Amino acid sequence: MRLSDMLTEYIMDMINETGDAEIKRNELASHFGCVPSQINYVLTSRFTPEQGYIVESRRGGGGYIRITRINADKSQTLMHVVNSVGNSLDRMTAEVMIKNLLALGAVEKNTARLLAAALSDRALAPVEPRGRDILRASIFKNMILTLIGR
């Protein structure tokens, strides 16, 4: 298992136990035998608002980082996703967002599969590569808004 996966699992276990995780970056780095920048990488890539998390940090000697899972109902979760998508959405980010919506129970498996198919590079192949991410963002937002309207 990769270090970033182990760090993610460790933090997720803390969140699942107490609802949030409060960590000291240097202590966690020492515990896992890594550099603090690896902790930063995990936090910025695995615990983002798009993935349903709020990360707060307090600097200084007694500083800490608190990671909290956003607890919202289905329509709030979906609206949060719509608001977090900008004017452009790359394929990998779309896939992560769909997986997170599925994991949070905001969409069902068949809906997630349809979203993934509609946003795939294969579906968007007729569009020039530089325009795909813009179209993908628009399609994704419209599909999610349709789900909210049910």
CATH number at residue 98: 1.10.1200
* 100: containing domain: 74-148
Q: What is the pLDDT along the chain (150 residues), one digit of tens a residue?
A: 788 889 999 998 998 888 889 998 888 989 999 998 888 889 888 888 767 788 888 776 667 899 988 777 788 888 888 888 889 999 998 998 898 888 888 899 999 999 999 999 999 999 998 899 999 999 999 999 999 976
Closest by CA position to 55, among listed 67, 43, 41 = 67
Residues 80 and 142 in one domain: yes
Q: Of 45, 69, 93, which residue sits at a domain end?
A: 69
Task: List residues bridging with 67 in a β-sheet.
Answer: 21, 55
pTM of this structure: 0.62
Residues 80 and 131 in one domain: yes
Q: Of 69, 100, 118, which residue sits at a domain end?
A: 69
The H or E element containing residue 48 is none
Residues 48 and 83 in one domain: no
